[in-house]
Amino acid sequence: MGVIRAEPVRVTDWAAKSVGAAWRAFDLQLATFAGLLAAVGLVMAYTNSVESGSSPLEAGTTFARGLMWAGIAAVAFVVATTFDYRWFKTLSWPVYALQLGLLVVTLAIGDGIGGSARWVTVGPFTFQFSELAKILMIVVLAQYLASRQARLDSLRAILGACVLVGPPLALVMLQPDLGTSLVFAAILAGMLWMSGASLIWLGALGAGVVAMVPIAWTYILRDYQKERLTSFLNPTPDITGSGYQLYQSQIAVGSGGLFGRGLTNGTQAQGDFLPVQTTDFVFSVLAEELGFVGGLVLFVLFGLLLWRVLVAGWRSRDPFGTMFAAGVASMILFQLVVNVGMVMGIMPITGIPLPFVTHGGASLVSMAIGLGILQSINIRQTRAEW
């Protein structure tokens, strides 16, 4: 049994370490796969901009904004990498407070479609704080679980983790954003699993969640949410109503064939048959224009990225690192499966973005911060300790 101890930091500490050693520990593959995925996102932004008839580099187009956010994300990635992740252990409660604060601010002054409050507008920027809140949640949970590693066969520690996730999840539910709150739940589940929590209690918890479903269905979910959740189960969807997006996106994906119609040639997207084509349904454009091969490449990239994330967790001598990697992996996997599954009609419609690819600054920057922290963890596990 060990504990994490804190001592006053010495300013010379970082400088004393060799930058070369840090570079060697830096996971170049992880950065490469993430960069390629972000590049796919930019390509999709480009094709969407061309299809909407504007010159792609014109200010304000999807592509121009995508480039800007990619730049910001790269900076955020570098900053997060150089930042000593161990500060998070000390600062876990302030981080938690910051997370709740961001979500409360969103609820208070946020904008959204149809009376919802999802993003905050500051000057020319709109930012969806709930994306950043996911990373902060992972930080808080990683610290919580890592510090209680010995006691994870007790129900108390598991319930404690649940209690931690509760308030942010509820705040996101209030926006209302069902998709993001499900991501919070997925992060919790994945991290609990990887923490080594007792299988019995995990099973009990799972049973409890299943039991909650009817209650949530009756009292918490709104009608449109239920409609979206069930429309994928309907074999003959109401193609002019709630099933329209689903139907059109399946047509888009299906008509892509093996090699696709070619970039910027997607007729489904061009004809505006696909709603929200630059955001949640971006995969349908990709599948239509780049075909089965393009989709497969995307999946392989995600698979490789997840592999590198898990490797980082496995290599971490620090349980915080393991837990953090578990959180990031759970988040990416869940969002991938739900988003792409939704586009292909095997998952309910929830507003979950496809990491890196979906156009949206908050999602990309948050991912960059998450992976940056992971790199920070990578380069701070010295070989000697391994």
- List interacting residues with other proteins (CB under 8 A): 1-10, 13, 86-87, 89-90, 149, 190, 193-194, 196, 248, 250-258, 267-268, 270-274, 287, 291-292, 295-296, 299, 302-303, 306-307, 310, 313-314, 316-319, 322, 326, 329, 333, 336-337, 340-341, 344-346, 385
DSSP conformational letter for 316 = -
Q: C-beta of 151: minimal distance to other proteins in Å? A: 11
Would you say 313 or 355 has its CB closer to other proteins? Answer: 313
Q: Amino acid letter at 137? A: M
Question: Partners of 122 in the beta sheet?
Answer: 125
Instruction: Count Cα neighbours of 73 within 13 Å in the Cβ-side half-sphere.
Output: 30
* Of the candidates 356, 363, 367, the residue with the CA atom closest to the CA atom of residue 41: 356
Q: Which of 6, 78 has the CB closer to other proteins? A: 6
- Provide the minimum distance between the beta carbon of 207 and other proteins in the complex, in angstroms, as a whole number: 19
CB of 206 to other proteins, least distance (A): 14
Q: Which CB, 99 or 322, lies closer to other proteins?
A: 322
- Please identify, using beta-carbon distances, which residue of 253 and 369 lies nearer to other proteins: 253
Min CB(296)–other proteins separation in Å: 6
Which residue carries 């599948």 as its tokens?
287
SS3 126: strand
- The amino acid present at 88, given as its one-letter code, is F
Minimum distance between the CB of residue 133 and other proteins, rounded to whole angstroms? 23
Nearer to other proteins, 170 or 234 (CB): 234
Q: How far apart are CA 282 and CA 364, in angstroms?
A: 14
Question: CB of residue 231 vs other proteins: minimum separation in angstroms?
Answer: 17
For residue 170, the minimal CB distance to other proteins (Å) is: 27
Comparing CB distances to other proteins, the nearer of 98 and 311 is 311
Q: For residues 103 and 340, which CB has a smaller minimum distance to other proteins in the complex? A: 340
Residue 282 CB, shortest distance to other proteins, in Å, is: 15
Q: What is the DSSP string of 243-285?
A: THHHHHHHHHHHTTTTT-S-TT--HHHHTT-STTTTTTTHHHH
The smaller minimum CB distance to other proteins, of residues 95 and 171, is found at: 95
Residue 383 has which token pair? 């070989």
The C-alpha atoms of residue 106 and residue 121 are separated, in whole angstroms, by 10
Give the residue carrying structure tokens 């001592």.
7
Long-range contacts of 101-106 (CB under 8 A, 24+ apart): 102/129, 102/130, 102/132, 102/133, 102/136, 103/129, 103/130, 103/133, 103/168, 103/171, 103/172, 104/171, 105/129, 106/130, 106/171, 106/175
Name the nearest CA neighbour of 311 among 22, 29, 34: 29
Q: Which is nearer to other proteins, 220 or 251 (CB)?
A: 251
Compute the distance between CA of residue 33 and CA of residue 20 in angstroms, rounded to an integer: 22
In whole angstroms, how close is the CB of 9 to other proteins at the nearest point? 4
